[in-house]
Structure 1
Amino acid sequence: MELLHHYTTSTYHTLRSDAVQRTVWQMSVCEVGFSHEFVLRGILAIAALHLAHLRPSRKEFYIARGMMHHQLGLRMATGLLPAMNEENCTPLCVFAALAVMFAMASPRTPEDFLLVNDKGLADWMILMRGMNSILDSSEPNLFAGPLGLMFQSGHRRFQLRSSEPFMLGSPHDDQVLLLQQRILDSCVDPERGNAYMGALAEVRKSLTVLFAYAETYEGSDAFIWVFRTPEEYFVLLREQDQSALCIFAFFCVSLHRLSGHWWAHGWSIHLMSQIYRLVDEEHRWWIQWPIDQIGGLRALQDFS
């Protein structure tokens, strides 16, 4: 009861910047949770981590509660993926969004790479990518469901993200295209090249939305990259491939815009510090622009 009360009076307000979206997350998302236990578990989990953030003296207690609720919800949601239908597609999407924020709000280790770990993709990544192949066919149900306005808004932003005329002339484009040329010049494996270019194209779109809508930029604008990027790229990222790390550095610029949210705070600099440590001297020059965008080398030194 404490966790649910905290979510409906405080946590919901920290999950989105837009006032209308906040109301959806306060009211409609809870209503979905009352009929789908895994969503309710996700709500309680993120509320627990928010309380851990606000009450350091009881931090371990709330983290333990949050982990318990998240793992139970994740198990239920993952089990439903093969049977995704018009009844559970909206709840699954809501839980996936909560899972992303939970992953970012969870205590991190110095080696935490957010998207991948020593076993492969992170659990929340597996959930999100597992939904990708079914989401297109579920759009009518999502739009007509209890969170229809939220999904329609996201769909409009996605269409804009994919509009080539919208992308032309964006201030980051010269830097993205320079990285693209450097990667192409150094890559001799066509399969790797396709993975790099697929990932970089999606990062470019995320950055375009970031610079066009900086004041209303949301986590969904950044993490749609996870849905659209080829699986092969994440294999290369897990292997700490130099070009894959450079592309990830550009993605960190998108994450940096989310730093004002308690659940995302510090991630861009944390990840950039790891990337800078892992790349060689030549590739450090390749990522000078994203480093500058998050505060420069001084920010990385102060963080470490």
Structure 2
Amino acid sequence: MRMMIPSCVMDGAQAPFGTSRMRWTVQVVLVLLTCPVSCIADSTTEEDPWPLQHSALGSDVLLRCAVPAEAAGVEWRVNGTSVATALDVLMATEDGLVLPNASLAQEGDYSCHHPASGEALRRIRLRLGLPPGKPAIECWAISYPQTVNCTWSLPADVHLDTEFIATYRHGVWAKGGETECVQPAAGASSCSINDVQLFSITPYVLNITAVNPVGTATSLFHFIVEHIIRPDPPEDLQVSAIPSESKKLLLEWKPPGSWPLPKYFPLKYLIRYTRQGTGSPRTIGPYEQTSFILTGLRPGAIYHVQVAAKDLSDYGEYSAWSPQASGTPWKRR
């Protein structure tokens, strides 16, 4: 029986960079050339009495079973029940059992049996799913200038475990090939680039390849580091009354803990505040310091405050707003 791996792995001319590292992963995705309908070879092992067969949702799935020479056919069961009563739409052929336009309801444990003795001739655990779509990628330099953090997601649920291979290059035609984008765990939907080159006009190219037993998909994401700077929100925002000042509040906060070098790569800050019970908030700034005195406030009113940060050189984008903090100006007792 001849077998092959998907053409995206065999054909180096068509494969995107990064697929050299995924050859060992996708070789487990085998396609039977002799299969007359859509089916994926099972992962048979001597230890597993129910070897897996992965197939694509909506395809005609073939479950193979060799018919004994002395028998006219075999009996098929799913989850221990005869398929004659367990499933509505089936087609038995001399090659095996066909599930036309297979749906998730047809996943299960299939077995074929000798029609006379009932002996199990083969067992198959069928799992159905979809090939992954192209991952949607975001990258942000939240720890500039040290690290770029990237995340991604699939456009739809594929119903199968999917691994992700993450690599990058500095420049489309960079010498030395691709470099691993470090994931926090195998198959994670995020990775980090730690050897960032500052102020380079040559873009980085991130390659994310999604791999599951019925297909693969690749997305590329181009970026220049300074264009994707976005700090995390400022931390530990405090709103305090100022003794003897009935129309002022003292605001104090800290740079985000993920921003590694605030002394050498300072941030600037926007302040957003609103009086409780009123409409739209007011935004002021930017300011370079990590404290500010709000003035002209209404005595006795409650004010809600948030702060956002951005690279002082104006690269990239502002952070999200910090968690809200609240306070009331000083009141004479």
Using CA pairs below 8 Å that are at least 6 residues apart, which structure has the higher relative contact order? Answer: 1
The structure in which a higher percent of residues are strand is 2
Question: More helix by proportion, 1 or 2?
Answer: 1
The reply to whether TM is greater than 0.5 is no
Compute the TM-score of the two structures, normalised by the length of structure 1: 0.23
